[in-house]
Structures are given as structure tokens and as C-alpha cells.
Structure 1
Amino acid sequence: MTTLMDLYDEKVAEGLLLRDPAQEEALPHFERIRTELAKPVKKGFFRKAPEPPKGLYLWGGVGRGKSMLMDMFVESLHVPVRRVHFHAFMQEMQSELHRLREQGVEDPVVPMAKKVSDAVKVLAFDEMQITDIGDAMLVGRLFEQLFAAGTVVVTTSNRVPDDLYKDGLNRQLFLPFIKQIKERLEVRELASEKDHRQDRLKGAQVYFCPVTPETRAKIDHIWQELTHGHEEVLTLHIKTRKVELPRYWNGVARASFYDLCGQPLGPADYLALADAVRVLVIEDIPRLGRGNFNEAKRFVTLVDALYEAKVKLIASAVDEPESLYVEGAGAFEFERTASRLREMQDADWGKPI
């Protein structure tokens, strides 16, 4: 049987990965779960279902390869699995909670958890973190039900379990969830000294103009480097609205100018977007002016949100920042946006990716 270490060695031999001792040390913990899940289940009327394997909580700094290892693990499974960003999953659960409450369901957490556990055997999360009090109050009961149903949870995080929802409001009510993590998941640190992902953009061109087949190909290459060819739709829930990012993976999102600025979005939407991603690829920024004044105003608001949140921006545009908006109402105000777009091209700009 091909093991995860075999798959890792193949990728190193093909030049797709650089060997990292810390990553190699983490592989057996994924392999343990994979092996247990691959065992045939003996069926019989009086047979008790086997205990599910203990899950995994892999934490460590950004860019250390946690998501890459998770991808290998998920792709090797032959049981129903869902790979999803933790933030997106919790937004989905909050939306379902609201829907069931409106229907008068007395305890909506039970059917919510059953729906998830009936669909998958393994939940594979990227970036477990809790910043919202609503999520903090929900996760304990939700995951208690999921664990009771035999769902195996494997997750990555940038922080040790004890630091989840640190200094959060009513944190004492969240502490039982941390206890569940320690009991149900094996907690391991990926203590690599190298930030593999940061190196991919260090000093690289991130602003492309004009828009040509060549610049599109360069952005495609960056996207492939950052996502390894994986992507999904990320749905952000802002109050009663939904904002969809058509292409997303592991903190990196990609959308067109029209996707983000041609729609009736506002500051709250852009703040939620900036909070959800570390890198945003925005393509086909047009010439701005009287003819698309509303779109231009939204773009200014979007750039402000990204700038304040230190989101790394990769963009393609019809021209250089200073030449995007040269006449008409709003041209003077756009000078600050152009300055920010220029600053965001700096090699050291942005939070770790």
C-alpha cells in the first residue's frame, strides 16, 4: 500500500516539494488516521461500530506546509471527506442555525450536526481560529455532536489550542471546546524553520499592466504556486447577505474587478473579505472615471480595506496605478488609492501568507 511518505518522496523527486524534516515528522500522524480509516468494517447485526480514530490538530507558523500535508492526506482517503476553510464552515453553520431557528426547531444544533455527519466521515479544516463570539458559543455543542456521531476531525491552525479565542468575550464558556480538542484530537506542532510559501512571492512582480495574454499567464502561474491547483467557492455571510468569491484556497482568493466592484457591495463586505483572506488576486482593473464612477468608488473602498488589513494584493490592470483615474470627479481623491496600490507592491508588504 502506498503511504503518505511514499507520496511525499515522489513529490520531492519530481521537484514539486523541497524536503523538510518537520513535514516528514508530521506525516506519520496523518498516516495513522488514514490507515485506521482504510481498515474494512466488519458488518453484522450485533456488531458494534468501531471507535473512530483520534483526529489531528496540526499547528505552526504560516507557510510551513500544513495545508500541503492536509491536501496529500485528503487526496489519499477513500472515505467521504470534506475539505473546507474553518471560517467558511462556521459561516455556513451560522446560516443553517438561523434558518432552523426561523422554522421553529427547538434545538437546531442536533439536526445541523447530523446533516454534516451523515454526509462525511472526515472533516478536514484549514486554519481553525475563533474570532467571533457567535462561533465561540456554537462550536462546543456542534463538535460534541459531531464527535459523538463518529466524525473524524483533522485541522490545521496557526496557534496552539489554548490560544484559540484568546481574550475573547465570555471566553470561559469556550474553554470546554478546547478540552474537547485535546481529548479528541492529537495535538502536534509543525515546527519548521522555513516559510515555504512566503518565498514564492518574495520580490516577485505583483502588479501587471496592461492586461495581455502574457500577464494573464503570469498570474495563472502565481495562482498555481499558491494553491497547488486547488480551489473552491468561498461564501462570506455579512448579516443577511452573501458575498461569493469564485476562486479561493487556503487564505488566497481570486476574482475579477467586476466580481468585487461591479456589484452593490459596501464597506462591511470589503472588511469581511479583508478579514477572510491573506492574498487577493484581482484581475482586469479598467480605466476609471465618469463612466464607471460607482465601480471606482467601490474600488477605493476595497483597496482601503485591503491596505488596513495588510492583505497582499496581486493585480492586473489596464495601466499603472497613477494612470487609472486621471480625470473626472474623484480623480483627486484617487491619488491616495494610487499611492497605496504602489506601496502594496513592495516586497515586504502584507501579513504573512
Structure 2
Amino acid sequence: MRVSDRYAQLVASGELKPDPEQATAAARLDRLQAELEQPAPAAGLVGRLFGARKAVPTPRGVYLWGSVGRGKSMLMDLFHDNLAIAAKRRVHFHEFMLEVHARLRDERKKEIGDPIAPVAAAIAAEVRVLAFDEMVVNNSADAMIMSRLFAALIERHQVVVVTTSNRPPADLYKNGLNREHFLGFIALIENRLDVLPLNGPTDYRMDRMQGVGTWHMPVGDAATAAVREAFFRLTDFSPEDSANVPSAELDLGGGRLLHVPKSLKGVGVFSFKRLCAEARGAADYLAIARKYHTVIVVAIPRLGPERRNETMRFITLIDALYEHKVKLIVTAAAAPAELYDRSAGGDEEGRFAFDRTVSRLMEMQSTDYLALGHGED
């Protein structure tokens, strides 16, 4: 099915509201889908004799940008799910760049020259279309790599890139260290991809959250029902099919995996016990923060000196989620300001550290915070 046809079906059924910018983007993705699915034209007589085919121009990619909740990921889902070719990949941009760094490290061990070229060739051998969610550049290491890597992928290997971002290309890595080395990447995006804004007046993700809230207490059936409803609203998954919600194994690095019991469309569900009662560090929480735009944590107990290890891990978790502007939805034993048991005495350092966490937890419930895009500075 074509992207625009599926989009029209969703509007007609009432699952989506009519949105002119979304319809324009769906039509553009529809054209790209048709170009990618078109078989290569046969060559002429001489070409047929020698097995040659006409060269087909590489289709232009698409860069969808706009504020959070405007439907970028939904349109990417429609494009990827309906694209009838095998050599395609949908991946979160942070996850892709972590993978690129790992491949570059492996290539450097061979000590045979520039590692960018073989990494680009290996990626191109695997996919014809790369579909990224949430392109954002937060560090100079990524910025230094991206211009050369994507130039090789797009210009040398004819890989088609489709991506979403909360920012227009010109604002990527804005004010970043050594940004002049990144300007070639911006020019490449503007020259080889069609840049489409998706900045309508409605934040559909916030729309879905109306009346649901983010902090639910005490732990119990009512709180569980509230976060369950939030999950299904954010993922558009049918509650009647709840037994079939997909799970995931999140790669934490070093061969370690974290089981995510519910993982769909950038929303991950975790128990407090799994995240904070087990031995975990900042790198684990950063992997979660990079992967998910929304994290649901269930059954957060009262914290304090008697649960010092769990408390310190929870503080580290919140720091990672906050720095990556991840939305947090919880069931908890108490409100943020009452979550730390101050009656137990002792552990002045723990109380001081938790005060900063309380401040962040309060901010993370604000409308301004919820309107930020995942990974924004």
C-alpha cells in the first residue's frame, strides 16, 4: 500500500486528525516509495548482450523536521512499514551513531588507513534505505564523523536517507565545538534531501496525554491503569491486544542486554526493581535515555538511607533521562517531594543529592519540559 493511501485511511477512520503538513509529507514519502520500488529499467541491445543496465538516478531523500508530537515518527512508520523492498533499516539516530563508532574502532585495529570508507561500504552493502528517528548531534565526535560518512553513503554508495529531527538542518549542532567541520554535512542534507517542515499547531503526543498525567500514586490498581492507558495512547496500540505488546532486548554494550518487557514506538516500560535494585551504572541509563523518548517506571517505593544503593541509582537514572529530555511516567509510593524518607536520619549527602532530583522530577512534569524534543539541548 502507498504511504498516502494508508495515511488517508487513518484520517478517514478517525485515528488521525486531518493535517495539511502531514498530508504533504505523506505525499512526498509516497513518491519516494514509488521511486524505490520501481524495478531498474532494462538496457538496450548492446547492454543486454553484455549484461549491462541503464544507470538510474538515486532518489532524493527526505528530512522531516518539526516540534515534538507533530507526527514525524508516525509518518516514518508508515513509510518504512509500507516500503516493499528488503534492503531497508529503521533505527534511532543515537543507536546508529553508537554502532558507527563501534565499527570505526574495529577498523582502526586493522591499521590499514582511513576507517570511514570501509565502514560506509559495509553499511551500504546491508541497506539501500536508512530511515532515522530523531537526528540530533550533541558531541564533537559525532559531528566530526558525520560529514565524511554520509557523503560516502549518499554520494558514493547511493544510499537513500530519510530522517526526522526536531530542528531544521541549519540548526543541527548549533554553537557546537568545531562546528565549521560540520557545515559540509548540513550542505549535503540541504542539497541531497528534500527538507519538509512539520510544525502544525497541534502537539498530537501532548494531545494524547490530556487527562492522563505523568506521576501516579500510590502504587496500586488505579495508578497501574493510568500508566497502562498512557502507554496505549502514546503507541496507538490496541488495549484489546495488550497480550501481544512487543518486548525488546536493549544493548547496553559489552555484550550485556537489558530486557524491556514493553517496547514500542519509542516508549519503554520498566520496573523500578529492574532499573534500580540491580547493579547498574550511568552507561546503562544513558542507553535507555538514547533509545526511548518516553520511559514508564512502575512501582517506585519510598527511598532513603535504608535503600541507599537504589536511591543513588534512581538519582543517576533521572539525571540521564533529564539530560536527554526523556518523558517520564511513573507509579510511585509518594509525590516527588515526599519520596525520600527524611525521618530515618543520617545520610546527609543522600538527602542533598535527592533534593536536586526532586527539582528535576517536578520540572519533568511541566508543560514546557514535555514540549521539548527528545535529545534537545
TM-score norm. by structure 2 comes to: 0.80
3-state SS, counterpart of residue 56 of structure 1: strand
Distance in 2 between residues matched to 1:165 and 1:241, nearest whole Å: 31
3-state SS, counterpart of residue 51 of structure 1: coil
1:227 equivalent in structure 2? 235
Partner amino acid, structure 1, of 2:199:
A
Deviation at 1:81, TM superposition (A): 1.4
Taking a change above 3 Å as real, the CA distance of residues 243 and 176 of structure 1, as seen in their structure-2 partners, is farther
Identity of aligned residues (%): 41
3-state SS, counterpart of residue 197 of structure 1: helix
Q: Which moved more, 1:318-327 or 1:190-199?
A: 318-327
Q: Does 1:282 align with 2:297?
A: yes
Q: Which moved more, 1:325-334 or 1:56-65?
A: 325-334
3-state SS, counterpart of residue 213 of structure 2: coil
Distance in 2 between residues matched to 1:57 and 1:338, nearest whole Å: 36
Distance in 2 between residues matched to 1:137 and 1:34, nearest whole Å: 31
Q: Which moved more, 1:155-164 or 1:255-264?
A: 255-264
2:151 equivalent in structure 1? 144
Distance in 2 between residues matched to 1:141 and 1:338, nearest whole Å: 40
| More helix, by proportion | 2
2:170 equivalent in structure 1? 162
Distance in 2 between residues matched to 1:319 and 1:40, nearest whole Å: 60
1:23 equivalent in structure 2? 22
3-state SS, counterpart of residue 344 of structure 2: coil
Q: How does 1:193-232 map to 2 (within 5 A)?
A: 193-212=201-220, 215-229=223-237
Kept in 2, the 8 Å contact 1:253–1:280? The answer is yes
Deviation at 1:317, TM superposition (A): 2.9
Taking a change above 3 Å as real, the CA distance of residues 91 and 26 of structure 1, as seen in their structure-2 partners, is same
Q: Aligned to 1:93, which of 87, 90, 100? A: 100
Deviation at 1:34, TM superposition (A): 0.3
Distance in 2 between residues matched to 1:346 and 1:157, nearest whole Å: 23
Q: How does 1:251-270 map to 2 (within 5 A)?
A: 252-267=267-282, 270=285
Taking a change above 3 Å as real, the CA distance of residues 187 and 153 of structure 1, as seen in their structure-2 partners, is same
1:47 equivalent in structure 2? 53
Partner amino acid, structure 1, of 2:344:
E
Taking a change above 3 Å as real, the CA distance of residues 234 and 344 of structure 1, as seen in their structure-2 partners, is farther
Q: Aligned to 1:102, which of 82, 104, 109? A: 109
Kept in 2, the 8 Å contact 1:203–1:347? The answer is no
Distance in 2 between residues matched to 1:177 and 1:309, nearest whole Å: 23
Q: Does 1:333 align with 2:351?
A: yes
2:367 equivalent in structure 1? 348
3-state SS, counterpart of residue 336 of structure 1: helix
Q: Aligned to 1:128, which of 118, 135, 150? A: 135
Cα-to-partner distance string for 1:263-298 (whole Å, 9 max, x where unaligned): 433456546755765432112323545664312221
Partner amino acid, structure 2, of 1:223:
F
Taking a change above 3 Å as real, the CA distance of residues 102 and 284 of structure 1, as seen in their structure-2 partners, is farther
Partner amino acid, structure 1, of 2:100:
M
Cα-to-partner distance string for 1:61-83 (whole Å, 9 max, x where unaligned): 22111111111111110112111
Structure 1 unaligned blocks of 5 or more: none
TM-score norm. by structure 1 comes to: 0.85
Q: Aligned to 1:70, which of 42, 64, 76? A: 76
Distance in 2 between residues matched to 1:163 and 1:345, nearest whole Å: 24
Deviation at 1:7, TM superposition (A): 1.0
Distance in 1 between residues matched to 2:68 and 2:364, nearest whole Å: 21
Deviation at 1:310, TM superposition (A): 5.5
Distance in 2 between residues matched to 1:137 and 1:170, nearest whole Å: 8
Q: C-alpha root-mean-square deviation of aligned residues, in Å?
A: 3.2
Distance in 2 between residues matched to 1:241 and 1:337, nearest whole Å: 33
Distance in 2 between residues matched to 1:161 and 1:280, nearest whole Å: 27
Deviation at 1:343, TM superposition (A): 2.6
3-state SS, counterpart of residue 367 of structure 2: coil
3-state SS, counterpart of residue 29 of structure 1: helix
Deviation at 1:209, TM superposition (A): 3.6
